Amino acid sequence: MNAVPREWLKLQYMDPELFLVGLREIALTMPLDELHYKVSSLRTHALRKAGESRQAALFAYGMGQVLGSPVAFAVYEAQDYDAVVKYAANGKVTYLPVQLKEWVPDFLNPSATLQDELDKLAKYTDSKDLAVAIHLNREATIHLSKLTLPHGSIGGLWFYGATDLTQMRWLLIGNLMIPGATAYEFHYPEA
C-alpha cells in the first residue's frame, strides 16, 4: 500500500492488551451467566461494535505476539473492512485494513462450515491490501489441505481461535495466502 488514507491517520487506535484485560475483568465480575447469550457474547445489534472490537483486539494482540511488537487497532467500517491495525516494522508505521469474519459456534449454526466462510471471500476481487481474519469460534479440527483458499483476491488470510475452554490459550494461523504459513500460540493477556 502506497499512500495511507487520511481517515486512517485520524482514527483512535486502541491497545488490544488493555482492551482485552478490561473485557476479562467485566466477565469475571459481572454475572454474565445470568444474561441472555446474545447479550453476554456481544451479539445484539446494540453491542455489535463491542463484539467487533473484541474480535479486532484478539487479532491485533495475537499479531503483536507474533511480531514481537505492539499492534494497535481501530474499529472502522468502510468498503471491504471492519478495522485497521497499525504497527511499527522496519522503521516505519504500517497500516493494514482487516475484514473480520467468524465461524460461529456450532449451536448457533450447526450447518456452517469453514469452507462456507472462505467461499464468501470470492466477492473480494481486487483487495490485495486486505487481510481477512476469521475467528474460529467452535471446537473443531481443521485440515488446511482440505480447504479451498481464495486465490489472488486478498493480501492476507488468518485464522485465530481459543484452544481451551477458559479462552486463555489461543492460536493464530497465517498468513495462509503465502507459502510457509505458521501456527503461533499466544495467551490471553492478564492484568
Q: pLDDT by residue (tens digit) across 9-40?
A: 999 999 999 999 998 887 777 766 666 666 65
**57-84 mean pLDDT:** 93
Provide the residue type at 124 as one letter. Y
79 in any annotated domain:
yes
76 in any annotated domain:
yes
Residue 39: domain span: 6-187
Q: Are the beta carbons of 103 and 112 closer than 8 angstroms?
A: yes
Q: What is the pTM of this model?
A: 0.90
78 in any annotated domain:
yes
Give 153 or 47, the one with higher predicted confidence: 153
1 in any annotated domain:
no
Q: Give residue 138's Cα distance to chain centre.
A: 14
Name the domain count of the chain.
Answer: 1
